[in-house]
Amino acid sequence: MATATRKRRLGRQVAIVGAGLSQFGAFPDKDSRDLFVEAFQDMIQTMDQPIDIDDIECAYVGNYSSDLFETQGHTAPIVADWLGMTPIPITRIENACASSGSALREGAMAIASGMYDVVLVGGMEKMTNLPTEGVTDVLASAADGLYEVPAGLTFPGIFGAIAKAHMDRYETSLDHLLKVGIKNHNNGALNPKAQFNVTIRDLMERRMARAEQRGQPVPEWQTELDFLNDDRANPWIAWPLRLYDCAPITDGASCILLVAADIAHNFTDRPVSLAGIGQASGKPLHDADELTSLSAAKEASRQAYEMAGITADDVDLAEVHDCFTIAEIVASEDLGFFAPGEGPRAVDEGRTALDGDRPINTSGGLKSKGHPVGASGVGQVVEIYHQLRGEAGERQAKKSKLEVGLTHNVGGTGGTCVVNVLRRE
């Protein structure tokens, strides 16, 4: 049908004028609402101009499952109350790990519709209340309980199956996957907000030092790959994925302030525009046309590129949804940065590293920064906002041209994908 491919545009242009992130990690003393407040405080303290509480007219909060993680439903108005923002309308959006990506989209459309000028969007997830098996059960509830769960399907299992398909079809190796993790930890070590604010090399050397202190045999690891290929240091979760191929369980929150572009300069001299937004749904994996690609990611990026009037080659850097290392490689191909099957070589050549020509996950990605699922989509936007404004500190991407950034946020195993194109104004 013609409507499916009609060229879409926002009725009004939308800009980002503030961005905040809580610390990512495990925080026994904090609920999701507390984490959101922390992200909000980070945002207002780093904005170029002070804002008044009455400036904010509407809000959307992404959250996967406060119901199951915290036994707390209807969390959006609690957030509004905690921030003293009642009676503004606030709505919780749930799209699994793409919840806040979708919340951002709703906020952008609320401004584009002409109804609001200033909208707060963000996400939050409190995951560490439950033991690991409890978290796994909650996450697995995003899979189909009738046909998938009885087969023993887990998220690492699904992405392991994708990794195996990629290895079978292309020249992808186990080391390519591990190198994605090494790269993302190198970036996360430069991110003070990251849950794993440490390089793989440092983790390896700590293990060796500990063994020596305890008078145990010291492992003979020379390189990070030696360490990561050691079954005892890095056990299999779902072959071909090991522990360090998986993003962690994380508490955290993120938020950004969206405004109508024509008033952006009331808030900052350096706004970042939301040049293109795309969102698509995808079939469950067993019905997918191929396993080495997520169809929703290709469609969402097509929409975002078209709205922004750019191609993949125009994107200077990206935050992509590396819930598992293979997911980053697949994303880099789905987004058109590299041809299908060429993603692993780009990792080998360092093209996606901080000093590469196409930096990916300068924040450390979900792998090292952490993955509080409902907060991850907007968390990615927070990173791109700071990178495009040149304020990412030690982890600032090294390339000279940094004008266009992209975020790629996946829900489930590709049931949802949200892609945003951001441009420095």
Partner 1 sequence: MPDWNKPLPTVVGETRAYWDACRRGQLLIQHCGQCGEYQFYPRGICAHCWTENPGWVAASGKGTVWTYTVTYQNRTPGFDQGPYVLALVELEEGVRMFSNIVECDPREVSIGMAVEVTFQRATDQISVPYFKPAG
Active site residues: 97, 371
Q: Which amino acid is at 67?
A: D
Q: Which of 105, 135, 113, 118 is nearest to 52 (CA)?
A: 118
Tell me, by CB under 8 A, how many residues bind partner 1: 37
> Taking the complex as a whole, how short is the minimal distance between the CB of residue 258 and partner 1, in angstroms?
36
Taking the least distance from each CB to partner 1, the nearer of 61 and 238 is 238
Query: Which of 156, 248, 405, 412 contacts partner 1 by CB under 8 A?
Result: 156
Q: Which two tokens stand for residue 1?
A: 């049908």
Q: Kindly write out the interface string for residues 288-317 of this chain, putting x where it contacts partner 1 by CB under 8 A and - elsewhere.
A: ---x--------------------------
Query: Which of 58, 90, 237, 346 contacts partner 1 by CB under 8 A?
Result: 237
Q: Which two tokens stand for residue 329?
A: 């490689």
167-226 positions binding partner 1, by CB under 8 A: 168
Taking the least distance from each CB to partner 1, the nearer of 180 and 404 is 180
Taking the least distance from each CB to partner 1, the nearer of 10 and 233 is 233
Stretch that binds partner 1, among 17-25, 151-159, 311-319, 415-423 (CB under 8 A): 151-159
The C-alpha atoms of residue 139 and residue 133 are separated, in whole angstroms, by 10
**With binding defined as CB under 8 A, does residue 114 bind partner 1?**
no
Asked if residues 336 and 311 have their Cβ atoms less than 8 Å apart, the reply is: yes
Number of C-alpha atoms within 13 angstroms, CB side, residue 200?
A: 26
**With binding defined as CB under 8 A, does residue 165 bind partner 1?**
yes
**With binding defined as CB under 8 A, does residue 160 bind partner 1?**
yes
**With binding defined as CB under 8 A, does residue 239 bind partner 1?**
yes
Angle between helices 155-169 and 132-140 (to 10 degrees): 70
Instruction: Provide the H-helix boundaries in 63-131.
Output: 66-70, 75-82, 99-112
**With binding defined as CB under 8 A, does residue 236 bind partner 1?**
yes
State the first-to-last Cα distance of the chain, in angstroms, to the nearest integer: 36
**With binding defined as CB under 8 A, does residue 230 bind partner 1?**
no
Asked if residues 187 and 160 have their Cβ atoms less than 8 Å apart, the reply is: no
Taking the least distance from each CB to partner 1, the nearer of 13 and 136 is 136
Q: Which two tokens stand for residue 208?
A: 């060796």
Taking the least distance from each CB to partner 1, the nearer of 239 and 403 is 239
Decide the pairing of beta strands 416-424 and 272-281: antiparallel
Residue in the block written with tokens 């994708």: 162
Q: Is 345 helix (H, G, I), strand (E, B) or coil?
A: helix
Query: Which of 94, 144, 175, 425 contacts partner 1 by CB under 8 A?
Result: 144
**Site residues, partner 1 (CB under 8 A):** 132-133, 136-137, 140, 144-154, 156-158, 160-165, 168, 235-241, 285-287, 291
